[in-house]
Chain A
Amino acid sequence: AQTVTQSQPEMSVQEAETVTLSCTYDTSESDYYLFWYKQPPSRQMILVIRQEAYKQQNATENRFSVNFQKAAKSFSLKISDSQLGDAAMYFCAYRIPSGTYKYIFGTGTRLKVLA
């Protein structure tokens, strides 16, 4: 069965510093998608970044980048130059590659940014 694990319930980072959020997943598929979503206090689910498993290059979006290790089934999110507005819950998600196209979400990591 496909699972997504976020082992860090909460993380803290000093403003302007870098933080890495961990995510591991389990699948027997070879082609799939992975995502990071941000949920600020407003509760809106905001897409941060996505990664296609067939791409070896790690995805980047401005201050956000991923370290995708396919063999290790690891998909960590790095936030550089952390800002107060980055404080939120972060969810890792795996998309089932065929048939249902459903997402499997991790339990989330709460990120606190300290001024």
Chain B
Amino acid sequence: DAGVIQSPRHEVTEMGQEVTLRCKPISGHDYLFWYRQTMMRGLELLIYFNNNVPIDDSGMPEDRFSAKMPNASFSTLKIQPSEPRDSAVYFCASSLKALGTQYFGPGTRLLVL
């Protein structure tokens, strides 16, 4: 299995631009999680999905952030408009409920100038 796939691996953009991060979970996994990691705040859970349905988005910092999961093999996290304080590493992780272990993708390093 290829594991969790994220794209792009690195993104540099200017303030005000739209950013879209992509994730392909491990096939068969029914939970998908989006995290943000910064030095100041550590690992934060932004939102997670179960069977493509958003379950808890209480970690999404503000309305500029949105996430979708149109099917079992694809999810996006969008920031519009982006701000310098959004600079972070964004991780996607997936898990199979029965096993409980979350497997992380390689992350997307976002820099907003």
**A95, closest chain B residue (CB):** B100
Residue of B56, B89, B102, B107 near A103 (CB, 8 A) is B102
Render A33-63 as a binary contact track against B, CB cut-off 8 A, 1 for contact.
1010100001111110010000000000000
Render B26-51 as a binary contact track against A, CB cut-off 8 A, 1 for contact.
00000101000100001101001000
- Please give the number of chain A residues whose Cβ is less than 8 angstroms from any Cβ of chain B in the complex: 19
CB distance from B70 to the nearest CB of A (A): 22
Asked if B97 and A101 make an inter-chain contact with CB atoms under 8 angstroms apart, the answer reads: yes
Asked if B42 and A105 make an inter-chain contact with CB atoms under 8 angstroms apart, the answer reads: yes
**Chain B 73-113 interface residues, beta-carbon cutoff 8 Å to A:** 89, 91, 93, 95, 97, 100-104, 106-107, 109
Given A100-B56, A101-B95, A101-B97, answer yes or no on A47-B103 (Cβ-Cβ < 8 Å).
yes
- The winner among B31, B91, B100 for most chain A CB atoms within 10 A is B100
User: Could you say which residues of chain B place their CB within 8 Å of the CB of A101?
Assistant: 31, 95, 97, 100
User: Could you say which residues of chain A place their CB within 8 Å of the CB of B109?
Assistant: 43
7 A/B residue pairs, CB under 8 Å, sorted by A: A44-B107, A45-B93, A47-B103, A100-B48, A100-B56, A101-B97, A101-B100
